[in-house]
Amino acid sequence: MPSDAEAAGPIRVLLVDDHRVVRSGVSAYLEQVDDIAVIGEAGDGQQALDRIAAMEPSGGLPDVVLMDMLMPVMDGINATRQIKSRWPVIEVVAMTSFVEEATVRDALEAGAAGYLLKDADADQVAQAIRAATAGQMHLDPTVARLLADSIRRPRRPDSSLTPREREVLTLVAEGASNRQIAQTLVVSERTARTHVSAILSKLGLVSRTQAALWAVREGLAPGTGR
């Protein structure tokens, strides 16, 4: 009997990069992956938005956009932000050739579900795409270390977490959704959401991504570049 993933078909991916040779190379090795299908390409962020808008009437939206960060016309960060605003169901994985803290942070804050370097091998790219569709974060190990080192510690003496909040934070770092946290801890989804909000407030953070990286740095969870 086929699995749910097999029954749903391959993960649909749109490649966005201003270098045709990069798009061709990524497309070539993703063609060897049974559960991933490249459904289109774009040379900049605006083209990506136009391609997605053209796909929408037929219901053929991509599941994941593999997005370069530095491109003419519209860069990857702005394109990611607009995609997540207009089509929240689409996940974006940033893929670029450099590691710069500001760019990484901007991409994740814009809604990217992962950040890869262009020297990643085919297995890493496929893992990042699968993780994004599963609602999980996948970061290149170098990127994870950079962000984990840069996240500040709690800014107030009263910001220590309760044991239950530490449990929740560990699950967040593992990529669990509020529903999965609720199921694991046998609480309501509303309670799980309240715990996550309290954690962000206590740590002075603004996103689940930052909370996950804080947990990695503090040793509450393993690194995200698995």
| pLDDT tens digits, 128-152 | 999 999 888 888 888 877 776 665 4
Superfamily of domain covering 4-148: Response regulator (3.40.50.2300)
Residue 61: the pLDDT is: 94
Enter the tokens of residue 73.
């016309």
Q: How far apart are CA 68 and CA 15, in angstroms?
A: 8
Which of 218, 114, 121, 86 is CA-nearest to residue 175?
Answer: 114
Task: Decide if 4-148 and 155-217 have a common fold.
Answer: no
Model confidence at 97: pLDDT above 90: no
pLDDT of 48: 97
Domain extent listing, the chain: 4-148, 155-217
Could you tell me the pTM of the whole model? 0.68
pLDDT tens digits along 165-223: 989 998 988 888 888 999 999 999 889 989 988 888 888 776 787 788 788 777 776 55
6 or 51, higher pLDDT: 51
User: Looking at residues 78-87, what average pLDDT do you find?
Assistant: 93
Mean pLDDT of the chain: 84
Q: Which of 46, 135, 64, 140 is nearest to 96 (CA)?
A: 140
Q: Which fold has domain 155-217?
A: Arc Repressor Mutant, subunit A (1.10.10)
Q: Answer yes or no: is pLDDT of 155 > 70.
A: no
| Confidence (pLDDT) at 107 | 87
